[in-house]
Structure 1
Amino acid sequence: MEQPETVKHATLLWATAIIAGIVETVLAVSEIARESGIDAGVWMNIGVRSVVYIGAFVLVGFFARGRRWARIGLALLLSVVGLAAMVVPSAMQLADGESLIAAVGGDGDAAIAFFVVRLLHIAAVLLATGLMFSASANAHFRKPQPVTA
């Protein structure tokens, strides 16, 4: 069954969002390592994020193969929970008077790089979400799913 272009593009955008999340983690850990070193809490955070990123890539793979449950999983976990985790803290900092760069990118040496990657991450999630629920994607996911052994 041929995928519509919207599903192909959404798949690429989801992969872009996940890679952006990985880059954000690398930037944040690099900043922490420069300032204070990496302790057990940082390693725990890296472990949790690694599980999340691997799980997200698995969901994207199933989404690309037309699995309805993966589309719902991406919508709930990444479009709602993940996006809220990125946007709400920044919005709260903006409300407290922080600059846009500081609220989104932090205040370290990598603030501008983090800011740019975070905006790419957010844009990729928003665009992927819109595409995966477009008319052509909806029609694609309404078709009977293939039976696998």
Structure 2
Amino acid sequence: MNAPRPLAPQSLRLSLLAWSVAIAAGIFETALSLTAEVTAGATVPDLLPALLSRVALYLGASLLVLALRGGRRWARTVLTVLLSLLGLASLAVPLTLEALAGQLPALEFLTVRLLHIAAVLIATASMYTSAATAWLRGR
């Protein structure tokens, strides 16, 4: 009989939760953006490419989080490069430039964006604790 697999350490479980929050925040941001675009007169065909790319992005992110949950060390690396570095830059740089220009987005969008950024930072830091690293190495 196989021995039960040890649970992921608390820090890695926090990372998984934070990644889930980040994904949910990204989906909510997408809904807010699309609603604003439709209100401004955009049509579904106009928005379809952006919507499909976001669906692919968040589906891919979800699959990476599931792979990390399953103990796949490569998923941590991919999450770091794609979401912690590139994704975070795509969230923070435009927001910073808008703030410097004195043009902050609507409060609800700003709130969700800041939650999204915080969740990515927490998720990234939590998946690199010594306990998380040891658990992933033991997989």
What TM-score, normalized by structure 2, do the two folds share? Answer: 0.91
Instruction: Indicate whether 1:71 and 2:66 are aligned.
Output: no
Of 51, 59, 75, which residue of structure 2 is paired with 1:54? 59
Match of 1:15 in 2: 20
Residue type at the aligned position of 1:123: A
Partners of 2:30 and 2:125 in 1: CA distance: 25
Instruction: Indicate whether 1:29 and 2:29 are aligned.
Output: no
Runs of 4+, deviation exceeding 4 Å: none
Structure scoring higher RCO (CA < 8 A, sep ≥ 6) equals 2
Deviation at 1:92, TM superposition (A): 2.1
Task: Spell out, residue by residue over 1:85-118, the C-alpha distance to the aligned partner (whole angstroms, 9 max, x if none).
Answer: 01111222233x315xx1xxx2xxxx11111111
Instruction: Indicate whether 1:116 and 2:111 are aligned.
Output: yes
Deviation at 1:39, TM superposition (A): 4.6
Q: Which sections of structure 2, spanning at least 5 residues, go unmatched?
A: 1-5
Match of 2:3 in 1: none
Percent of aligned pairs sharing the same letter = 37
Q: Which sections of structure 1, spanning at least 5 residues, go unmatched?
A: none
Of 9, 26, 36, which residue of structure 2 is paired with 1:4? 9
Of 118, 131, 134, which residue of structure 2 is paired with 1:139? 134
Partners of 2:50 and 2:19 in 1: CA distance: 22
Of 93, 96, 103, which residue of structure 1 is paired with 2:98? 93
Residue type at the aligned position of 1:141: L
Secondary structure of 1:98's match? coil
Q: CA RMSD in A?
A: 1.2
Secondary structure of 2:131's match? helix
Task: Spell out, residue by residue over 1:20-41, the C-alpha distance to the aligned partner (whole angstroms, 9 max, x if none).
Answer: 0000000000011011122534
Deviation at 1:64, TM superposition (A): 0.7
Partners of 1:67 and 1:56 in 2: CA distance: 14
What TM-score, normalized by structure 1, do the two folds share? Answer: 0.85
Partners of 1:41 and 1:88 in 2: CA distance: 25
Instruction: Indicate whether 1:125 and 2:111 are aligned.
Output: no
